[in-house]
Amino acid sequence: MGVKAMIKLLENLKTIYRYRGLIQSLVGRELKARYRGTVLGFLWSFINPLLLMIIYTIVFGFIIGPRDPAFNNNPILYALFLFCGVLPWTWFSSSSLEAANVLMIQGNLIKKVLFPAEVLPIVVVTSNFIHFLFGLPILFGAKALISCFVPNAPGFSIYLVFLPYVILVQYIFTLGLGLFLSALTVHFRDIKDILANLLTFWFFASPIIYPMTFGPIKKSVILRTFLNLNPITHIMVGYQNTVYFGEMIRWKRLSVTLLVAIIIFIVGYHVFDKLRDSFPEEV
Amino acid sequence: MVAIEVDHVTRIYQKYSARHRFKTFKSALLKGDLFHALKPDELVTALDNVSFKVDKGTTFGVIGENGSGKSTLLKIIAGITKPTSGRIKVNGKVSALIELGAGFHPEISGRENIYINGIMLGLSKKEIQEKFADIVRFAELEDFIDAPVKTYSSGMYMRLGFSIAINVNPDILLVDEVLAVGDASFVPKCLDRIDDFRRREKTILFVSHDLATVERICDRVAWLKNGRVMTIGDPKRVIDAYLQDVAEKQERKFEERQQEVQVQESYEEEERENRWGKREVEIKQVHLKNHQGEEKHVFSPEEGMVVEMDVEAYSPIKDFVFGIGIFNARGIQVYGTNTDLEDFSPQVIDGPGKVICQIKQLNLINGTYYLDVAVHKKDGYPYDYHRHLYSFLVSSRHKDEGIVRLPHQWQFSDNIKLKSPKFKSSSGK
């Protein structure tokens, strides 16, 4: 990619900035429309992660039980750890799945109204991001409760200030992938189904239900290398470090991940831009 | 000043087959040559080297059959689709009425949809706030504006979409056939708004099948056929050329259909049903022609019709009457006459001959008609009666109703103001 491509990218970013009002309204519309007609309305944004948290506590905490010494054999601590990873993972996986579909679902818009199509995947990633933010108070509330009542539970630490950095890395990564997927699915509809399966695999190939310090991973170089090559690994570890353990983030690894995220964003956007003209007739 | 300049624009659409998709997906995965692999296997030329200019403040019409490239042209001018080659220059803010309410979300209220749709069409939040009352009033949705859009009827939906789009207050308005779906009371209101636009020296590009409206509001018209511009110029001239082309096409289709019918059912069988008489005098053939003597099946009221019968009497016969009858598609006799009713006194007929009935003006409304021809005795005894064996089409731009088109003229006293249909806006010219 040469200078020309970079200039094009900057122009595109400027256009997106011009359309920020539209993105804002569309995200608002998504959020409003999602719970329209439900009795509990916006409360669902909190109830969903809360219920998820309870299910994980029961299944992984009590039934399967924590296997790693890091959790002192305490199911509640393990559930909190799980929640730290599942919450951002839900953001990532829902965004990817929805982004892969969004150009087809909103095809009418692309065909009939003049506006930059990338607004649509951006709206998908952003509205899921807002949902993720709704889950954070539940996460922090649970952590506060646990650190009060469970002995030896890790408390809040100053390193929480790095949480926005982790979120930023994930946002760029998710958006880059979302742009790539949305553009490609227009031409290859199979991606939708491939992606659904791939995400299941990806979930277990990331340290979400197990910590990186888990015995088998520590022992196996192959497993460790494999996990370290997965950008999601470093993002998840970032959440676990800042929120659960209250430790310093791994600057170097996370910054490399940021670089990867930016590259994926640039490549994703480039592909999107190349295929853009074919959208109105293919969706 | 030129508002829209279309310069040698060509648009080629690409079609991909399912098998091709699979192949390209595979090669894209294996070789990584995604863009190269995305080469289509079939090309469709929607627009072929189209050029024209639209002056600022004028109304420009685009007519043509379905699939002639009208909508593609509009989308290219709106910027939604890019031309494959050629250039588009547009001076001013464009608003496109391509599909009304395209961005509506069914679950949220009309109020919220106005905001989102307005922003999509390029308005700022403040501008929408200012125009909000106007938009709602024009759409006549004051009582429903806070209800979710999914509860709206299709008419309400359309009214809201039109109201938002027209309130964007563009310099150039692109209108695509959207008025076809409106309810009867709303369409005139929309046309009024469009007229208002014209008075304010705004540019309009109007795509429609409604030729009467095109002729009424457009200053110039382009006729597209298979992606090519056939003619550009004075509305009446272009529309006439287009109508003639359509008529010729109908003519060909009609002939094909008639041939098919004849091949399908044996002619004899149909004859038994629809032809009777002992044929002492026989009507051997019937031709429908125009006044230039060309055989036709599609006629306009103005050009008239000639019914030509080849007849033959096998012995000298003294008592005979020739008659014709025209029936519309509902079976109602529209007209009928014969030589006896018109007080011709038969003398003698012997051997082959020709009977010609010239109809100077075919004053009928649009539709399909059936023709009866007959030769019989004065007392009604049939020699040869052909019932509904011939059919023809009347096609015109008139939209009147009923059975016949009575030649007429309107006149009004001075205190009654109406714009005559041929009236062109003369403001500022």
Q: What is the pLDDT of residues B28-42, one digit of tens each?
A: 666 555 555 555 566
Asked, for residue A52, whether it belongs to a domain, the answer is no
Looking at residue A267, what is its pLDDT? 93
Please give the domain boundaries of chain B with CATH numbers for all domains.
Answer: 2-246 (3.40.50.300), 280-394 (2.70.50.60)
Inter-chain contact A113–B115, Cβ cutoff 8 Å? no
* Relative orientation angle of helices A231-239 and A75-105, to the nearest 10 degrees: 130
Percent of chain A, pLDDT > 70? 99
The owner of tokens 């002995």 is A151
Chain B partners within 8 Å of A190 (Cβ): 25
Mean pLDDT value across residues B322-339:
90
Mean pLDDT lowest among A74-83, B99-108, B305-314: B99-108
Asked, for residue A53, whether it belongs to a domain, the answer is no
Q: Mean pLDDT highest for which of A118-127, B250-259, B278-287, B420-429?
A: A118-127
Nearest to A191 by CA among B15, B31, B34, B14: B34
Q: What is the pLDDT of residues B46-77, one digit of tens each?
A: 899 999 999 998 999 999 888 888 888 988 88
For chain A, the residue count is 283
CB pairs under 8 A between A and B: 76
Chain A partners within 8 Å of B94 (Cβ): 114
Nearest CA in chain A to B23: A188
Inter-chain contact A21–B125, Cβ cutoff 8 Å? yes
Report the alpha-carbon distance of residue A199 to residue B125 in Å, rounded. Answer: 39
Q: What is the pLDDT of residues B384-419, one digit of tens each?
A: 998 888 888 888 878 788 888 888 888 888 888 887
Asked, for residue A60, whether it belongs to a domain, the answer is no
- Which range marks the domain in which residue A181 is found? 3-41+80-282
Mean pLDDT value across residues B358-366:
89
Domain count for chain A, please give it.
Answer: 1
Chain B partners within 8 Å of A25 (Cβ): 115-116, 119
The owner of tokens 């949480």 is A163
Max CA pair span of chain A: 61
Asked, for residue A50, whether it belongs to a domain, the answer is no
Asked, for residue A37, whether it belongs to a domain, the answer is yes
Report the alpha-carbon distance of residue A180 to residue A99 in Å, rounded. Answer: 9
Report the alpha-carbon distance of residue B28 to residue B35 in Å, rounded. Answer: 8
Mean pLDDT value across residues B244-256:
81
* Relative orientation angle of helices A3-18 and A20-35, to the nearest 10 degrees: 60
Mean pLDDT lowest among A212-226, A254-268, B313-327: A212-226
Asked, for residue A147, whether it belongs to a domain, the answer is yes
Mean pLDDT value across residues B239-246:
86
Find residue B5's DSSP bridge partners. Answer: B53, B89
CA B103 to chain centre: 28
Looking at residue B429, what is its pLDDT? 34
Looking at residue A95, what is its pLDDT? 95
Looking at residue B426, what is its pLDDT? 37
Looking at residue B394, what is its pLDDT? 87
Contacts of A181 (CB under 8 A, 6+ apart): A96, A99, A100, A121, A191, A195
Buried b (16+ CB within 10 A) or exposed e, A50-87: bebbeebbeebbeeeebeeebbeebbbbbbbbbbbbbb
* DSSP-derived secondary structure letter, A202: H
Asked, for residue A207, whether it belongs to a domain, the answer is yes
ipTM summary value: 0.71
Asked, for residue A171, whether it belongs to a domain, the answer is yes
Q: Nearest 5°: phi and psi at B105?
A: -105, 125
Looking at residue B37, what is its pLDDT? 53
